[in-house]
């Protein structure tokens, strides 16, 4: 299968996007690996060795063949996903995910009533129609490939090149909004996606939602953008790699994401650049953000600056992902003089950030100190009680 994929990419379709069998295979890969780790956690580990999320996802019984095939090949997510955990899927199949929610009256007593309504796909279908219309209207007017055109690069001021790249990426995203919102609507229409209730008693149907459009477009950090884009894939990467890798989990997660997407060189350039961007973003947030938290006006200024920086950084990082081939991708970075790569390197060297393990160790030491102080206080109180 890998040989066929590499042959197709490098012999027949190099540098061109094509819809093929790899989409469903990517979804099935997520499900199989998730299931493998969940079975491993449930059958080989003790409760104390698992995180709270791993305890919830752990599978204590080997699935039957029918359950396995149903989970992997159900009609709702076979083409475009999104992926889901085995326990969530089985709760949907068995009907145990729907729990009535009793509301309280003005006196604080349960009135025995609860809001239980079927999910409406009208908003999602409207979002799909708008996204598809925007994409079909703008994708030909603002192609990303135009940003590496020699005439465009030589005759256009740099700040206009930045604006064009942002607009080109903005016109490209509705394609994914359409696919993932439609997939969410299909799952909800089948009854899958129930995620409990809001505080007002209204049901939530976002269990396997794959994106939050407004949070993406108005993201003020690299992490915020990634947390709201392809949410279920981000959760999969976190569960199977980030939480389990002991050596540099962030780099390992980005590398796994590149391998999962395919064999185009542009994917690897994008995710390698993403490592540098994430490290720089952490350094900026850790060292610069505290200076802008003094007043609301300073916070707004910081939000505007970080929004603009995030959108430019995302567009710069994702360009090779769209261009796919090595030549166009490196040509794009050369036209920008690798400026954001150099800026990230400068920021990381000038504004170091403590490692995750060191921060965790300091937190543990702080907890131990607090516990010691608490014990000392208790001892003093006990001595006073005895003296009394």
- Full DSSP string of 209-270: --B-HHHHHT--SHHHHHHHBSHHHHHHHIIIIITT--S-HHHHHHHHHHHHH-S-HHHHHH
Domain count, the chain: 3
Please check the confidence at residue 347 and state whether its pLDDT lies above 90. Answer: yes
Catalytic residue among 187, 228, 230, 341, which? Answer: 230
Q: Are residues 176 and 232 in the same domain?
A: no
Q: Could you read off the pLDDT of 194-214 as tens digits, one per residue?
A: 888 888 878 889 899 999 999
Q: Are residues 314 and 275 in the same domain?
A: yes
Q: Could you read off the pLDDT of 156-168 as tens digits, one per residue?
A: 999 999 999 999 9
Q: Are residues 179 and 236 in the same domain?
A: no
- Is 383 inside any structural domain? no
- Is 40 inside any structural domain? yes
- Is 231 inside any structural domain? yes
Q: Which pTM does this prediction carry?
A: 0.84
> Is 286 tagged catalytic?
no
Q: Are residues 129 and 226 in the same domain?
A: no
Handedness of CA 61, 51, 252, 289 (dihedral sign): positive
- Is 386 inside any structural domain? no
Please check the confidence at residue 17 and state whether its pLDDT lies above 80. Answer: no
282-299: average pLDDT: 90
Taking residue 137's Cβ as centre, other Cβ atoms within 10 Å add up to 12
Domain boundary residue among 97, 128, 150? Answer: 97
User: With bands split at pLDDT 50, 70 and 90, how would you rate the model's confidence at 322?
Assistant: very high
Q: Are residues 201 and 78 in the same domain?
A: no
φ/ψ of residue 173, rounded to 5 = -65, -35
Please check the confidence at residue 234 and state whether its pLDDT lies above 80. Answer: yes
Q: Are residues 9 and 134 in the same domain?
A: no
Please check the confidence at residue 7 and state whether its pLDDT lies above 70. Answer: no
Domain holding 314, by residue range, is 220-375
Q: Are residues 269 and 293 in the same domain?
A: yes
Q: Are residues 312 and 170 in the same domain?
A: no
> Is 261 tagged catalytic?
yes
- Is 107 inside any structural domain? no
Q: Are residues 254 and 285 in the same domain?
A: yes
Q: Are residues 188 and 272 in the same domain?
A: no
Q: Are residues 20 and 62 in the same domain?
A: yes
Domain boundary residue among 210, 231, 256? Answer: 210
- Is 387 inside any structural domain? no
Domain boundary residue among 159, 180, 210? Answer: 210
Lowest average pLDDT, out of 100-114, 217-231, 237-251, goes to 100-114
SS3 330: helix
Catalytic residue among 72, 87, 195, 261, which? Answer: 261
Q: Are residues 234 and 341 in the same domain?
A: yes
- Is 111 inside any structural domain? no
């Amino acid at each position: 299968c890998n040989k066929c994929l590499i042959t197709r990419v490098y012999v027949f379709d190099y540098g061109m996007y094509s819809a093929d069998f790899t989409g469903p295979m990517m979804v099935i890969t997520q499900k199989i690996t998730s299931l493998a780790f969940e079975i491993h956690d449930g059958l080989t580990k003790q409760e104390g060795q698992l995180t709270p999320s791993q305890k919830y996802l752990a599978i204590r019984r080997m699935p039957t063949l029918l359950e396995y095939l149903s989970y992997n090949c159900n009609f709702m997510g076979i083409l475009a996903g999104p992926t889901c955990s085995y326990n969530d899927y089985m709760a949907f199949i068995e009907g145990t995910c729907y729990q009535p929610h009793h509301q309280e009256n003005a006196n604080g007593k349960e009135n025995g009533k609860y809001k239980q309504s079927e999910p409406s796909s009208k908003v999602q279908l409207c979002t799909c129609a708008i996204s598809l219309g925007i994409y079909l209207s703008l994708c030909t007017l603002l192609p990303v490939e135009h940003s590496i055109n020699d005439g465009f690069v030589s005759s256009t001021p740099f700040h206009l090149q930045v604006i064009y790249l942002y607009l080109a990426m903005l016109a490209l995203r509705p394609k994914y909004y359409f696919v993932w919102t439609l997939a969410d609507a299909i799952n909800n229409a089948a009854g899958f996606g129930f995620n409990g209730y809001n505080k007002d008693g209204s049901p939530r149907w976002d269990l396997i939602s794959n994106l939050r459009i407004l949070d993406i477009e108005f993201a003020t950090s690299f992490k915020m953008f990634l947390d709201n884009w392809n949410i279920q894939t981000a959760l999969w990467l976190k569960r199977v790699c980030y939480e389990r890798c002991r050596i540099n989990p962030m780099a390992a997660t980005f590398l796994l994401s590149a391998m999962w997407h395919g064999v185009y060189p542009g994917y690897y350039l994008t995710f390698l650049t993403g490592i540098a961007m994430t490290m720089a973003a952490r350094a900026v947030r850790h060292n610069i953000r505290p200076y802008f938290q003094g007043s609301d006006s300073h916070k707004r200024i910081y939000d505007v600056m970080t929004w603009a920086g995030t959108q430019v950084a995302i567009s710069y990082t994702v360009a090779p992902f769209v261009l796919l081939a090595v030549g166009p991708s490196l040509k794009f970075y050369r036209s920008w003089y690798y400026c954001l790569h150099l800026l990230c390197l400068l920021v990381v060297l000038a504004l170091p950030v403590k490692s995750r393990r060191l921060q965790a160790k300091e937190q543990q030491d702080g907890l131990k100190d607090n516990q010691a102080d608490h014990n000392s206080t208790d001892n003093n109180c006990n001595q006073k009680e005895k003296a009394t």
